Structure 1
Amino acid sequence: MMTVGKFDLLFWVSSIFCLMYVSLGFDPTDNYLIDCGSSKNTSVGNRTFASDNSDSYTVSTPERLFASTNSNTISSNYDSSLYQTARILNETTHYTFSIKAPGWHWIRLHFFPFVYQEFNLSAAKFSVSVKNFTLIREYQPQNDAEVKEYSLNISSGPLVLTFTPSANSFAFVNALEVLSLPDGLIPDGASVVHQPGSYQNLEKQALETVIRVNMGNQTVFPQNDTLWRLWISDYSYLKHNNLGTFVSKEDKVNYTSGGPTQDTAPRSVYGTATTINDDSDPRIMVNVTWLFDVDPEFEYLVRFHFCDIVSSSPKMLFFNVYINALAVVTDFDLSNRTSNILGAPYYMDVIIKMGDSRALNVSIGRSTVDSRRTMAILNGLEIMKMNNSKGSLDVLDSEVKSSKTSSKVKVWVMVGLAGGVLCTVAVLALVLFLLCRRRRKLSHVGHSVQDRFGENGGGNLRSRNMDGSAIFSVSKIGYRFPFVAIQQATDNFSENMVLGVGGFGKVYKGTLGDETKVAVKRGLAQSRQGLAEFRTEIEMLSQFRHRHLVSLIGYCDERKEMIIIYEYMENGTLKNHLYGSDLPALSWKQRLEICIGSARGLHYLHTGTAKAIIHRDVKSANILLDENLMAKVADFGLSKIGPEIDETHVSTAVKGSFGYLDPEYLTRQQLTEKSDVYSLGVVMFEVLCGRPVIDPSLPREEVNLVEWAMKWQRKGQLEEIIDPRLAGKIKPDSLKKFGETAEKCLAEYGSDRPAMGDVLWNLEYALQLQVSGERSNVNGGEMSQEAGSINRLPSGFSTAHFSMGSIDDIAGISMSAVFSELVKADMR
């Protein structure tokens, strides 16, 4: 009884404190809270939502159609009592609110679809607008509760919120909030990322809150915020959880006069933070990165919240802040912004314009200026979308879509005007068609030699860009094919000939005039990125020939086409043989040989030319298999010529495939050959486990293959997660060596990873262990010294060169030089 009494008292005191804490916050002059569809007022914390028959506002539609539910399955961070009722709107409806305090206001719309009589609210489709702004266009509700928050500057007159049902549909809303905001909460202007000057006149914009994030892995719920905001934990947005440390020290927060207040962000936001991991080497320039999904082709207002709750004295924080690898601020000294007061909150507003990407990445990283002050910190983040030139916040009204729509309209107008003319010249068109057909046949005969050997019998050509400028300087490219020849080879790019589809375009199977089978990659038209990859891939492939690299046969750039022709690989991609198809399972020996072939090809790229070539997109989909299942690395569109020895290549545009990207390259934008080593390590686990690198359908701890496999590797129980089709077929020593090699490839820092030659050596060793173990089983005895030896050394080398005490010492020996000698033998 005593224990229960103390608990009740503690709970009562905590509740009173929470209510007092919130009640001390901002008291808005305009404060409209409506529980739509409800016949009575609803209390939510210390706030009261009025019933739908309140006379504090007006609704243009006299008919009131209400809906209600007793559902207990509502998933929301807001009070579920707001989602038990809804108002259904069968026609355009205007909510009118008188405004007493001109200035910035919040509009919060609450939606939760449920079934009520003949109405299934999930089937609703409608738009919402206010003033000259479109907030939502053709909105269709999700399955869970959703809150949409907008900020508008209401300078005069009433605020009119309009709901417009789509054709043959209806609108609904569960709850409405219209609140005036504290002065200064929304800035007048902000600096623009990577552009001079600043953005002014924000008061003329409408803003949509995309997300509020509280760093430190803690969610702050609306009842604990003076403005009833939700701050989501940052944990699920972190790119690499192991690079950050979560901190919680709310008692360190010191709100000062003239600085941010609890209305800017609550103590529970400024009192928690994510910092760079204390265990990481301060000499290594790592970044902590958060990944967010946003709508493309909009501008975004991003607010960073900082508060030094970790330092023992001022001047201890000195760091950089980035958005999408662009510097927001470098060598940022937080103490200078807070008058050297520890725990004083500070915020910074910036604007970034998004292109066609949906990824908005925020990073903090150490500064290189002062090695004594290396900590980086972030306490909170707010991302708000700004309306576009059409006054819309909806992605359906993005600039790209509207321009496409306009183009389509123009096309149809032109088609209509040309209809009469086409009827007049129909006969002439038929004659021209017949003449062109005959000319094509003659052209094919005249180019029969060019089809195979190029225009000048060789390929010493000068190719040109779409605008007529040169793509390639004096050509060492190979063979330039006429477009007509490629059309015929692919049956006019028949869908029946498609081998696969990638970011560059489609790949078709083709047959040349001499019956040579080829793979034809046709780039997407009018793609600037595609043009760059087209140029890069041809220039790269023209420089080398190697039996473990897919060979270039030719290309075509006629008619603004970007077409590359390769040797045909009978057995397709390694990915298709591992999962997602009904192809026969590869044996462990075959998988090892494929990994070895891939490593040989990559090792040649790294060491076989004057400067190293970094592939940058190593993945199972880019490893192709010929009729004998020999591996060849393909797709060099993202490849780069590497840096000089002991240098790193700094790239502002990180490119590659999600799941395979080197974390050091991603966070530091520094590219080396070790980035390919990391990606091959991912492929190795993919080969071993026979599953995708990222699989959202699996339990959370298994979604990311690398994290899952590394956990079992560190336990020494890798056999627990191998491809079930390989169960009992892998020799323990071979599996151990393979797992150790993959683990070294996946080291967090490139300096800790082996060179590709070392990877190749260890894969060869794993294969020998597997083959020797199989032989010993057949012979019924122990593995002989001959069977256990490595028999792939080039002439002139022997195990004596390495002074090994035992065969297990191989893992510690750098074999890059040894395999560099093999490169010459492989060049055929």
Structure 2
Amino acid sequence: MSSNTGEVHKLSSSTSAQSCRQFSIAEINSATNDFDDDLIIGDGGFGKVYKGSICINGTSQAVAIKRLDSMSNQGAPEFRTEIEMLSKLRHCNLVSLIGFCDDNMEMILVYEFMPRGTLYAHLHKSTTPLSWVQRLKIAIGAGRGLDYLHTGFGTQHGVIHRDVKSSNILLNENWAAMISDFGLSKIGPIDQTLYNISVSVKGTFGYLDPEYFYTSKLTRKTDVYAFGVVLFELLSGMRAVDERLEEEQGSLARWAQKCVKERKFDQMVDSNIVGTISPKCLRGFAEIADRCLIRVVEKRPTMTQVVAKLHNLLELQEKCDNSVDSSGTTGFTWKIHKYLAYASKRISGIDKLFISVGHISLPKSAENKITQCSSSTNRGGGDGGKMGRTTVTNCAKNNMNQCSSSANRDGSYYGKMGRTSLQKNAKNNMTQCLSSTNRDSSKLGRTSLPKSIKNPI
């Protein structure tokens, strides 16, 4: 490490004004209880990350301490790059580097501690899922951080991160997103394309831009591609690469692009947030993510454009959500948009029923009690029914105890359930709505919105 130590010291002295401190190995050992395994909070390509407590300006501060693994593929160049980058960069959506240690052949980085951990952990390991609005705000925060890198940080140079992924997006106590891990980053003029042909391609499979992979040409749009994968990860809750799934779904980018092309937006939604996304917001989010993955690099949006679009989508979603709390005597004030695509369920231990549920809209002023909405069909192997839209108009007082579709027991075909509309100011007590259909080939027809109803979303 001796050959590199001088370079690190040069970096530290040149960036001392930025409060990047050099720690001794004794301080690091004290902060981590001699690298106690019980304090490990992460393990990546660089090495292990420990939670520690270190004294800074007389105050004990929680920190994340990243220690280079001697067997790691990363080394002194990445170590120096991380120090150089984070000593110069200051943004509310970038993790802050507090200091480093290079004593005794060690390469250690000390960051501010992010109590909420990584975005990856919340999407794929947490038992408490993120809400849709939380995901939108996280996407905007991470996007802002990347936009700051790309457009310059007080100079004529910008930074290409080169390893954007959900595990490199950290969350603070307020759920604000922080871009981290700058070991692979490259600096280049903001008005030029940065080429790095002589260096091997680096990054993470699943997030790696195919054009960068095949041509070795590194540009800011390389980060845009990876960010598009993160957006689809936020929407679907799926991993960027999942070897447990079939080949088509094993690659999130390829599967998501196919869904957008076929306009199957509903099939892309994480089951944890089904029913919480405005249809327009869903479509807009999927489309901007898809644009990030366009094969032709020049046609991909900039991060500035992506962030602006995400802001608009957040405003649209919040406007929709705020209608839940509004009151009035006319119009709809509450909307649940459900996308349950091909959800399967055993009925009486026999065959599966596949139901695609459309819109269910209920006004806030209506007193509704929905105790059961079920659909039972072919017990001998019938195909999937589709339930369309059911609307309860304003001021209706309804007690919907049961809305079911039962199949004909003698095997004959009874046809399709047509349209059911509850008119304004009607007082209804719907105790049973039965559509009898053939157990061998049942079909549930449409329940439609009256044309006079104006959907606020």
TM-score, normalisation: structure 1: 0.38
Aligned to 1:645: 191
* Contact 1:549 1:633 (8 Å CA) reproduced: yes
Aligned to 2:47: 505
* Contact 2:152 2:190 (8 Å CA) reproduced: no
1:528 and 1:698 mapped to 2: Cα distance? Answer: 28
Matched AA of 2:235: L
Aligned to 2:24: 482
Question: Is 1:719 paired with 2:266?
Answer: yes
* Contact 1:525 1:561 (8 Å CA) reproduced: no
Question: Is 1:533 paired with 2:70?
Answer: no
Matched AA of 2:160: I
Question: Is 1:588 paired with 2:132?
Answer: yes
* Contact 2:229 2:289 (8 Å CA) reproduced: yes
Question: In terms of Rg, which structure is larger?
Answer: 1
1:622 and 1:496 mapped to 2: Cα distance? Answer: 22
* Contact 1:642 1:672 (8 Å CA) reproduced: no
Cα deviation for residue 650 of structure 1 reads 2.7
User: Structure 1 776/556 Cα, relative in aligned 2: closer, same or farther at 3 Å?
Assistant: same
Q: 2:7 aligns with which of 452, 467, 470?
A: 470
* Contact 1:466 1:560 (8 Å CA) reproduced: no
Aligned to 1:520: 65
1:504 and 1:637 mapped to 2: Cα distance? Answer: 8
2:306 and 2:48 mapped to 1: Cα distance? Answer: 33
**Which residues of 2 match residues 563-602 of structure 1 at below 5 A?**
563-582=108-127, 584-602=128-146
Once the two structures are superposed, residues 575-610 of structure 1 have per-residue CA deviations (whole angstroms, 9 ceiling, x without a partner) of 00001333x110000000000000000111111322
Cα deviation for residue 529 of structure 1 reads 3.4
Question: Is 1:618 paired with 2:139?
Answer: no
Aligned to 2:392: none
SS of residue matched to 2:281: helix
* Contact 2:95 2:112 (8 Å CA) reproduced: yes
Identical-residue share of aligned pairs (%): 45
1:745 and 1:783 mapped to 2: Cα distance? Answer: 35
Matched AA of 1:470: E
**Which residues of 2 match residues 165-204 of structure 1 at below 5 A?**
none
Once the two structures are superposed, residues 598-650 of structure 1 have per-residue CA deviations (whole angstroms, 9 ceiling, x without a partner) of 00001111113221100000000000001111100000000000245243323
* Contact 2:51 2:65 (8 Å CA) reproduced: yes
1:564 and 1:671 mapped to 2: Cα distance? Answer: 26
1:570 and 1:507 mapped to 2: Cα distance? Answer: 13
**Which residues of 2 match residues 204-283 of structure 1 at below 5 A?**
none
SS of residue matched to 1:670: coil
1:527 and 1:575 mapped to 2: Cα distance? Answer: 21
Aligned to 2:244: 697
SS of residue matched to 2:289: helix
User: Structure 1 527/622 Cα, relative in aligned 2: closer, same or farther at 3 Å?
Assistant: closer
1:628 and 1:736 mapped to 2: Cα distance? Answer: 28
Cα deviation for residue 527 of structure 1 reads 5.8
2:292 and 2:85 mapped to 1: Cα distance? Answer: 25
Aligned to 2:150: 606
Moved over 6 A (4+): 781-784
1:470 and 1:738 mapped to 2: Cα distance? Answer: 44
* Contact 2:45 2:72 (8 Å CA) reproduced: no
2:260 and 2:106 mapped to 1: Cα distance? Answer: 47
**Which residues of 2 match residues 702-781 of structure 1 at below 5 A?**
702-779=249-326
Aligned to 2:177: 631
Cα deviation for residue 715 of structure 1 reads 1.5
Cα deviation for residue 531 of structure 1 reads 1.0
Question: How many residues get paired?
Answer: 320
* Contact 1:611 1:644 (8 Å CA) reproduced: yes
2:193 and 2:116 mapped to 1: Cα distance? Answer: 39
Question: Is 1:676 paired with 2:223?
Answer: yes
Once the two structures are superposed, residues 508-553 of structure 1 have per-residue CA deviations (whole angstroms, 9 ceiling, x without a partner) of 0001133200000000237673111100000000001111000010
User: Structure 1 723/528 Cα, relative in aligned 2: closer, same or farther at 3 Å?
Assistant: closer
* Contact 1:498 1:506 (8 Å CA) reproduced: yes
User: Structure 1 467/595 Cα, relative in aligned 2: closer, same or farther at 3 Å?
Assistant: closer
* Contact 1:618 1:679 (8 Å CA) reproduced: yes
Q: Can you give the 5+ residue segments of structure 2 that lack an aligned partner in the other structure?
A: 334-457
User: Structure 1 528/466 Cα, relative in aligned 2: closer, same or farther at 3 Å?
Assistant: farther
Aligned to 1:196: none
User: Structure 1 782/534 Cα, relative in aligned 2: closer, same or farther at 3 Å?
Assistant: farther
Cα deviation for residue 779 of structure 1 reads 2.1
1:631 and 1:771 mapped to 2: Cα distance? Answer: 19
SS of residue matched to 2:99: strand
1:527 and 1:686 mapped to 2: Cα distance? Answer: 27
Aligned to 1:418: none
* Contact 2:119 2:169 (8 Å CA) reproduced: yes
1:629 and 1:568 mapped to 2: Cα distance? Answer: 13
Matched AA of 2:14: S
Cα deviation for residue 696 of structure 1 reads 1.1
2:283 and 2:289 mapped to 1: Cα distance? Answer: 10
* Contact 1:573 1:620 (8 Å CA) reproduced: yes
User: Structure 1 777/485 Cα, relative in aligned 2: closer, same or farther at 3 Å?
Assistant: same
Matched AA of 1:721: M
Once the two structures are superposed, residues 393-428 of structure 1 have per-residue CA deviations (whole angstroms, 9 ceiling, x without a partner) of xxxxxxxxxxxxxxxxxxxxxxxxxxxxxxxxxxxx
User: Structure 1 689/526 Cα, relative in aligned 2: closer, same or farther at 3 Å?
Assistant: closer
For CA contacts below 8 A with separation 6 or more, give which structure has more relative contact order.
2
1:665 and 1:472 mapped to 2: Cα distance? Answer: 33
* Contact 1:465 1:471 (8 Å CA) reproduced: no
* Contact 1:643 1:672 (8 Å CA) reproduced: no
Aligned to 2:38: 496
**Which residues of 2 match residues 303-318 of structure 1 at below 5 A?**
none
* Contact 1:522 1:562 (8 Å CA) reproduced: yes
1:782 and 1:599 mapped to 2: Cα distance? Answer: 36
Matched AA of 2:285: F
Aligned to 1:232: none
Aligned to 1:688: 235
Q: Can you give the 5+ residue segments of structure 1 that lack an aligned partner in the other structure?
A: 1-463, 785-828
* Contact 1:643 1:649 (8 Å CA) reproduced: no
SS of residue matched to 2:7: coil
SS of residue matched to 1:650: coil
Aligned to 1:558: 103
Once the two structures are superposed, residues 698-749 of structure 1 have per-residue CA deviations (whole angstroms, 9 ceiling, x without a partner) of 1222111111111111111211121101111111111111111101111112
TM-score, normalisation: structure 2: 0.67
SS of residue matched to 1:733: helix
SS of residue matched to 1:506: strand
**Which residues of 2 match residues 92-491 of structure 1 at below 5 A?**
465=2, 469-473=6-10, 474-477=13-16, 478-491=20-33
SS of residue matched to 1:763: helix
* Contact 1:709 1:718 (8 Å CA) reproduced: no
* Contact 2:4 2:76 (8 Å CA) reproduced: no
* Contact 1:573 1:622 (8 Å CA) reproduced: yes
2:164 and 2:33 mapped to 1: Cα distance? Answer: 31
* Contact 1:579 1:691 (8 Å CA) reproduced: yes
User: Structure 1 666/783 Cα, relative in aligned 2: closer, same or farther at 3 Å?
Assistant: farther
**Which residues of 2 match residues 77-92 of structure 1 at below 5 A?**
none
Aligned to 2:388: none
SS of residue matched to 1:542: helix
SS of residue matched to 1:653: coil
